[in-house]
Structure 1
Amino acid sequence: MLAAKLVDNVWATRKIESLNGLKFMLAEIINHEENKEYLIVADTIGAGIGDRVIICTGSSSRNIFKETAIPIDATVIGIIDEDCHF
């Protein structure tokens, strides 16, 4: 799992059928490095820009969906409530 901050929406009007109806967002991984790392994540819990979130990646992110053949690499699984110092 990773901690990240959601920084923008990602819009894709043309995509494969299995991705229709999913909300995508650009997430900046929270780390202590100078270089920034970003992921496009599927948001299934209604998080918004500026939220700090927990992201799962890989096969765990696909297991959230009924259709496990969906091509998703990262999914928001929680919104961080407390002011953690990462």
Structure 2
Amino acid sequence: MIIAKVIGNVWATRKEDTLNGLKLMVVQRVDLADKAAHESFIAVDCVGAGIGEQVLVTTGSSARQALRNEQSPVDAAIVGIIDELTAS
């Protein structure tokens, strides 16, 4: 899984049918070692995350499993909202 911060959302009125009804969010990977922000990408929101929240993102076939739709063209999904993060 990837730790990321939600930085925006995507509105797409025309998209692949299996994406209808899904909330698309722009997330940016966070590196715990240097607290720097890295690349941003689009993830389907499975948990109701909002802009500014830190989230857990899964990628690849695990993202499609989170949606319970193996046929959907999704490669990243938000599967958790981080309440607290402790790292040493």
Fold agreement, TM-score > 0.5: yes
Q: Using the aligned pairs only, state the percent identity.
A: 44
In the alignment, the residues of structure 2 paired with residue 81 and residue 33 of structure 1 have an alpha-carbon distance, to the nearest angstrom, of: 17
Q: 1:10 maps to what in 2?
A: 10
TM-score (norm: length of structure 1):
0.89
Letter in 2 for 1:41: A
Question: 1:83 Cα deviation (Å)?
Answer: 4.2
Matches within 5 A, 1:16-35: 16-31=16-31, 32=34
Question: 1:66 Cα deviation (Å)?
Answer: 2.9
In the alignment, the residues of structure 2 paired with residue 79 and residue 55 of structure 1 have an alpha-carbon distance, to the nearest angstrom, of: 9
* Count of matched residue pairs: 86
In the alignment, the residues of structure 1 paired with residue 44 and residue 3 of structure 2 have an alpha-carbon distance, to the nearest angstrom, of: 14
Greater alpha carbon shift after TM alignment, 27-36 vs 70-79: 27-36
Instruction: Please tell me the root mean square deviation across aligned C-alpha atoms, in Å.
Output: 1.9
Deviation >2 Å, runs of 4+: 32-36, 83-86
> Relative to structure 1, is the Cα distance of residues 63 and 37 closer, same or farther in structure 2, using a 3 angstrom cutoff?
same
Q: 1:44 maps to what in 2?
A: 46
Q: Deviations over 1:22-47 (max 9, x none)?
A: 00000010023867201100001100
Greater alpha carbon shift after TM alignment, 62-71 vs 44-53: 62-71
TM-score (norm: length of structure 2):
0.88
Secondary structure at the residue paired with 1:64? Answer: helix
In the alignment, the residues of structure 1 paired with residue 36 and residue 9 of structure 2 have an alpha-carbon distance, to the nearest angstrom, of: 23
Runs (5+) with no aligned partner, structure 1:
none
